[in-house]
Chains A and B, each alone.
Chain A
């Protein structure tokens, strides 16, 4: 039985304080703390590329003594829309090389944003099952600082750089339940890299409306598919788009706010890494049933259930 054996993350040393630049950004400090929610955002160095963040996450995984060794790895996937260079070659191949993995490793990228972890989990587990693989790595790394326009505070205050790696194998901590995935490309222009400026542009109105109107019904559907009542879920790990989004999703879900944490105050919105970075904190906890839901670029949204395995 395949599932999640371990999760590790990499966060760059450098962070930018949103509090210090609140005035410059034309925002009240209270607005940043209470609404945006990100008091600081992580920033990779100029020299670091996306693959380096993945390598950092893998080193964290090794430091956990998660039981994985380089020679065991049979496949790796990198979920990113901000790949090394211009995306050719694919970042997963660069990661394979930088990690010194065998050429027997299957490596490919998946182009998804904030829903990418949920999709990625389903993809890697299905791929591994079909190939009979027992050791796989799912990386998420989407450093938006590569495409954020200087002083575009509509985006610069939100996004942080980080990476996570999820080790998939047998005798896991969590197995996946049934998932649901949706897309609405009619609103794809809501989060995109502008062809002219090659910088990120975001229509916050559309994104917020999308999140609060589309995510709760999908979560309900996912619970139904898994035969769960909302109270049977111990933890709801929702993509950390902003504190305001999380705060507005909670009443719609009708669950205890303590079950829907906001944990990205000091990192920023790390796109597809936001869910695994939270999950990393709960790997050794008591929560038996965890719902994960990612939503954003595409517009794309995906929800799944993680069940802690009892041994």
Chain B
């Protein structure tokens, strides 16, 4: 299972790829992804990038209900735990 630190890195890496950012991504754990420029479609791409980065499969994952790093982490963790059990 991934830690919050690992997940945060994955999300920042994902945002950098999805939004084609050159600079490091600086986003707070409770900052809404939409405030950072992500929309409903780039949000889906972010999930895919995080999956690739962490080598996980979140299945049918709706990021609309997990719009910050903390919320995304909690939902992803719960999804993986449910899958494992």
Contacts and interface: CB of A to CB of B under 8 A. Distances in A.
A108 interface: no
Nearest to A248: B45
A203 interface: yes
28 contacts: A31-B39, A35-B39, A35-B41, A35-B42, A187-B60, A203-B60, A203-B62, A204-B40, A204-B41, A204-B44, A205-B44, A205-B47, A205-B60, A205-B61, A205-B62, A205-B63, A206-B60, A208-B41, A208-B44, A208-B45, A209-B44, A209-B47, A209-B48, A212-B48, A213-B48, A242-B41, A244-B41, A248-B45
Contacts of B47: 205, 209
Interface residues on B, range: 10 to 19
Contacts of A205: 44, 47, 60-63
Contacts of A244: 41
Interface in B12-51: 39-42, 44-45, 47-48
Interface residues of A, number: 14
Contacts of B39: 31, 35
Interface in A201-255: 203-206, 208-209, 212-213, 242, 244, 248
Interface SS, B side? helix
A205 to B, nearest CB: 5
Given A204-B40, A204-B44, A205-B44, 7 more contacts: A35-B39, A35-B41, A35-B42, A187-B60, A203-B62, A242-B41, A244-B41
Contacts of B48: 209, 212-213
A205 B59 CA distance: 10
A212 B61 CA distance: 15
Nearest to A212: B48
A308 B42 CA distance: 38
Smallest CB-CB A-B distances: 6 pairs? A208-B44, A244-B41, A35-B41, A205-B44, A206-B60, A205-B62
Residue among A31, A203, A205, A208 having the largest count of chain B Cβ atoms under 10 Å? A205
Interface string B59-81: 01111000000000000000000
A244 B41 CA distance: 8
Contacts of B41: 31, 35, 204, 208, 242, 244
A238 B61 CA distance: 25
Contacts of B61: 205
Contacts of A31: 39, 41
Contacts of B42: 35
Residue among B41, B47, B48 having the largest count of chain A Cβ atoms under 10 Å? B41
A280 to B, nearest CB: 28
